[in-house]
């Protein structure tokens, strides 16, 4: 999967923006952009990783000691999608 394949949905709650949720089986990857996300005001993206209901730190995906990673370009997001595939051995399903 590449960034261009992601189907973002409008988020109609505060803060307004866009979000995509990708299911990798054991993990779900959230990709967002809004005025409160890290880099959102600059047109950049933030990702977070969920395992069930909980956000989790995932080495190589999120920042060390954190459950998110921000200030990401489209190319950075594509790299994360590829890493998630390598970690899970699953193609993501759009949620």
Q: Does residue 13 surpass a pLDDT of 80? A: no
Please provide the average confidence, as pLDDT, over all residues in the chain. 95
Task: Tell me how far apart the alpha carbons of residues 32 and 70 are, in angstroms, rounded to a whole number.
Answer: 9
* Residue 83, both tokens: 């890493």
pTM for this predicted structure: 0.94
Q: Does residue 52 surpass a pLDDT of 90? A: yes
Number of Cβ within 10 Å of residue 43's Cβ equals 9
pLDDT digits (tens, 9 = 90+) for 15-40: 789 999 999 999 999 999 999 999 99
Task: Tell me how far apart the alpha carbons of residues 82 and 90 are, in angstroms, rounded to a whole number.
Answer: 10
How many percent of the chain have pLDDT more than 70?
A: 99
Average pLDDT over residues 42-56: 97
């Amino acid at each position: 999967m590449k960034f261009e394949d992601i189907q973002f949905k409008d988020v109609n709650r505060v803060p307004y923006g866009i979000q995509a949720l990708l299911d990798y089986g054991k993990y779900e990857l959230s990709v967002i952009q809004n005025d409160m996300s890290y880099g959102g005001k600059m047109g950049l993206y933030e990702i977070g990783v969920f395992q069930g209901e909980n956000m989790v730190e995932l080495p190589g995906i999120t920042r060390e000691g954190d459950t998110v990673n921000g200030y990401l370009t489209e190319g950075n997001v594509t790299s994360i999608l590829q890493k998630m595939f390598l970690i899970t051995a699953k193609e993501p399903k759009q949620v």
